Amino acid sequence: MSAELLSGLIGATIASSAAIVLIGLLRKPLRMAVGARAAYWLWLLVPALVLASLLPGPAHTLIESSTSLPGQVRSALSAVAVAAAPRDSTLPAAGLAIWIAGACAMWMVLAKRQRSFTRSLGALTPDPEGFHRGAVPAPMLLGAWRPRIVVPLDFESRYSREERELVLAHERAHLSRRDFAANALASGWLCLSWFNPLAYWASGWLRTDQELACDARVLAALGTARHRYAKALLKAQLATESAWRMPVGCHWQSNHSLKERIVMLKRPLPGTSRQWVGIASILGLAAASGYAAWAGQPAAEYNGPKILVDMRVKVIDSKTNEVFAVATRYLVHSGELPSDMKVPPLQFACTPFLGDELARSPAWDAMKARGLPLPPTGYILLDCTIRRDGEVIATPAVMAMDGKPAKIETSDREGLHRYTIELSATTAEDRIAAANKAAAKR
Note the pLDDT tens digit of each residue in 182-206: 888 999 999 999 999 999 999 889 9
The answer to whether residue 90 is domain-embedded is no
Backbone angles phi, psi at 245, to 5 degrees: -75, -10
- For the stretch 340-379, pLDDT in tens is 566 667 788 889 999 988 888 888 888 888 888 899 999 9
Q: Do residues 344 and 229 share a domain?
A: no
Q: For all residues of the chain together, what is the average pLDDT?
A: 79
The answer to whether residue 435 is domain-embedded is yes
**pTM of structure:** 0.60
pLDDT at res. 407: 92
The answer to whether residue 230 is domain-embedded is yes
The answer to whether residue 36 is domain-embedded is yes
Task: Evaluate if residue 285 carries a pLDDT over 60.
Answer: yes
Q: Cα(362)–Cα(367) distance, rounded to whole angstroms?
A: 10
Residues of the chain with pLDDT > 70, as a percent, come to 81
Bridge partners of residue 407, in order along the sequence: 422
Q: Where are the alpha helices (DSSP H) in 296-411?
A: 355-359, 364-369
Strand runs (DSSP E) across 107-179, as ranges?
Answer: 125-126, 132-134, 140-142, 148-152
Give residue 249's region: left, alpha or beta (phi > 0; psi -120 to 50). left
Task: Evaluate if residue 231 carries a pLDDT over 50.
Answer: yes
The answer to whether residue 212 is domain-embedded is yes
- For the stretch 14-44, pLDDT in tens is 989 999 999 999 999 998 889 889 999 999 9
Amino acid 298 reads P
- For the stretch 5-19, pLDDT in tens is 777 788 889 989 999
Q: Do residues 35 and 117 share a domain?
A: no
Q: Residue 35, CB half-sphere, CA atoms under 13 Å: how many? A: 21
Categorize the per-residue pLDDT at 105 as very low, low, confident or very high, splitting at 50, 70 and 90: very high
pLDDT at res. 23: 94
Highest mean pLDDT among 17-31, 89-103, 252-266, 267-281: 17-31
Q: Do residues 177 and 146 share a domain?
A: yes
Q: Do residues 148 and 297 share a domain?
A: no
- For the stretch 381-411, pLDDT in tens is 999 988 888 788 888 999 999 999 999 998 8
* Number of separate domains in the chain: 3
Categorize the per-residue pLDDT at 244 as very low, low, confident or very high, splitting at 50, 70 and 90: very low
The answer to whether residue 91 is domain-embedded is no
For 151, the domain range is 97-264
Cα–Cα distances in Å, from 313 out to 74, 172, 270, 308, 323? 14, 64, 58, 16, 10
Q: Do residues 3 and 41 share a domain?
A: yes
Q: Do residues 149 and 176 share a domain?
A: yes
**DSSP string of 200-253?**
HHHHHHHHHHHHHHHHHHHHHHH-S-HHHHHHHHHHHHHH-TTGGG-SSEEES-
Q: Do residues 109 and 138 share a domain?
A: yes
Q: Do residues 108 and 50 share a domain?
A: no
- For the stretch 51-81, pLDDT in tens is 988 886 665 554 444 444 333 323 222 222 2
pLDDT at res. 256: 47
Q: Do residues 50 and 110 share a domain?
A: no
Q: Do residues 117 and 253 share a domain?
A: yes
Pairing mode, strands 140-142 and 148-152: antiparallel
Task: Evaluate if residue 281 carries a pLDDT over 90.
Answer: yes
The answer to whether residue 88 is domain-embedded is no
Q: Do residues 297 and 416 share a domain?
A: no
Q: Do residues 231 and 344 share a domain?
A: no
Q: Cα(427)–Cα(52) distance, rounded to whole angstroms?
A: 32
Backbone angles phi, psi at 191, to 5 degrees: -65, -40
Tell whether omega for the bond before 345 is within 30 degrees of 0, i.e. cis: yes
Q: Cα(140)–Cα(219) distance, rounded to whole angstroms?
A: 18
Q: Of the residues 235, 264, 293, which one is the last residue of a structural domain?
A: 264
The answer to whether residue 89 is domain-embedded is no
With H, G, I as helix, E, B as strand and everything else as coil, classify residue 427.
Answer: coil
